[in-house]
Amino acid sequence: AAASATAANASATNAAASETAAAASATAAESAADRAEAAANAAESVAEDVVLAGSILTFSGSFGGTNNRYPIPRNSTTPNTNWVLCDGGTDGSGGTVPDLRGRMILGANDTYTTGSTGGALTHNHTVSGTSDETTLTVAQLASHNHTYYRPYTALVNADTNGTHYADLTQSVSDRAGGNASHTHTILIGSASSSSLPPYYALAYIIKL
């Protein structure tokens, strides 16, 4: 009986030791997870600090938060309020962010200053002009005449017996046409066409 009691006590002691070891392992694992999370948060904080406020990136995820303006990172459900959609809205500090919806980015220079806008989705193309002047020679004109009649007076011999009338006309022919130059206006037409190349749409976000 004494031996059995001793064995039971030993088993209980071993069980307690195993439980203690398991608890210690769980605590160590939890501590490791906490350290990993802290390291990830620290790395994210460093990354956020490295990216300058005002930097603009493209983003393919979803948005949430106030007015659905804040990007939600992948594998997360929490909007990142350090970034905001470039939709022309407020930046939270009394200013506004650029509105880059439906727009491309052009590198700024002396001609295109930062913040300037322009361009169009479609363009109208018109082709017009005139032909060269051509001077026709007399030989090139269509040959034609214009004839008209004009009255004239003639002296005739007549006796005095009775009344005599003279109806006299003369046929006159004159050439028409000239040798002047002329032009023809050419209008091929006007049409509107799109200058938009094939695209894949992404959202622009700006660092606050």
Nearest-angstrom CA–CA distance, 80 and 61: 12
Q: What is the 3-state secondary structure (H, E, C) of 63-132?
A: EECHHHCEEECCCCCCCCCCEEECECCECCCCCECCECCCCCCCCCCCCCCCCCCCCCCEEEEEEEEECC
Mean pLDDT within 182-186: 73
For the cut 90, the answer to whether the pLDDT of residue 21 exceeds it is no
Among 137, 154, 145, which Cα is nearest to 176's?
145
- In the structure, what pLDDT confidence band is assigned to residue 11 with cuts at 50, 70 and 90? low
What digits encode the pLDDT tens for the residues 47-102?
A: 667 889 999 999 999 999 999 999 999 999 999 999 999 999 999 999 999 999 99
User: Residue 152 is encoded by which pair of tokens?
Assistant: 């004239």
Predicted local confidence at residue 192, as pLDDT: 80
* Whole-prediction pTM: 0.52
